[in-house]
Structure 1
Amino acid sequence: MGRGDLSDEQWSVPESLLPAAGVSRRSGRRRRLINGVRWRVRTGVPWRDLLHEYRPWQTVYRHRPHRGRPHQMAGRPRDP
């Protein structure tokens, strides 16, 4: 576990919000993805400089939280 990664106790919170993984190995993969997103946000490095221990940067990038487009936020109607 790297500096800033979620501890077992901290991981139990987001893990309980995720759909069941089905296979025990998948939980570890999810944890690495979340730790990778958190590391990237904390350090501010470009996605391509993500440490390999968090999985390939493309995989972590695809699983990052999306902010959405302005017309999708707060129920605003889409501009024509």
Structure 2
Amino acid sequence: MGERIGVTDEEWEVIGALLPPEHGRGCRPAQDNRPYFEGMMWIARTGAQWRHLPDEYGKWNSVFRRYRRWVTTGVFDAMLETLGELAGRDTSADMIDSTVVRAHHCAVGIKRGLSKPRRLADREAASPPSSTPDATPEVSRSASC
């Protein structure tokens, strides 16, 4: 399936401390957060569906449920804030935001040969007439003048 996507031991020392401790559900003991976190990274990096998560990260449904629980409780927001503060102290670390990344005009999906985007009025004029009457009757211009 390819190369394993994960974190180094040094990275895990920082990230692992930011994740909440898991408690077992029922009679099952809780498992370590690292394979679950690495599975979430695999999904984010590959863009695959949860069901396609390799078995080495655990059952896809378990990883997904833990991911949803962390999202709803704000674990990732707190992690980003803490890592941002740590990176702010370290001048060698940089973070990039999608708002500063510019895409080439070919990447936005504009069809070649269109000089300007179509306006809504142009689309309405080009569309076939509707078979249902308008909901509001038109007021004649002679009556309003």
TM-score range, shorter chain: 0.5 to 0.7
Match of 2:52 in 1: 49
Match of 2:14 in 1: 13
- Which digits, 9 at most, give the CA deviation of each residue in 1:23-76, with x for residues without a partner? xxx67x2100000000011000100000000000000001114268xxxxxxxx
Query: Structure 2: which 5+ residue stretches go unaligned?
Result: 23-29, 74-145
Instruction: Give the TM-score taking structure 2 as reference length.
Output: 0.38
CA distance, structure 2, for counterparts of residue 47 and residue 15 of structure 1: 22
Greater relative contact order (Cα < 8 A, sep 6+): 1
Instruction: Give the TM-score taking structure 1 as reference length.
Output: 0.65
- Map residues 1-80 of structure 1 onto 2, 5 A cutoff: 3-19=4-20, 29-64=32-67, 65-66=70-71
Which protein has the bigger helix share? 1
CA distance, structure 2, for counterparts of residue 11 and residue 19 of structure 1: 14
| Compared CA separation, residues 61 and 8, structure 1 to 2 (3 A) | same
Instruction: Please give the root-mean-square deviation of Cα atoms over the aligned residues, in Å.
Output: 2.8
Runs of 4+ in 1 over 4 A off after TM superposition: none
| Compared CA separation, residues 20 and 62, structure 1 to 2 (3 A) | closer
Identical aligned residues as a percent: 35
Query: Structure 1: which 5+ residue stretches go unaligned?
Result: 69-80
* Structure whose CA Rg is larger: 2
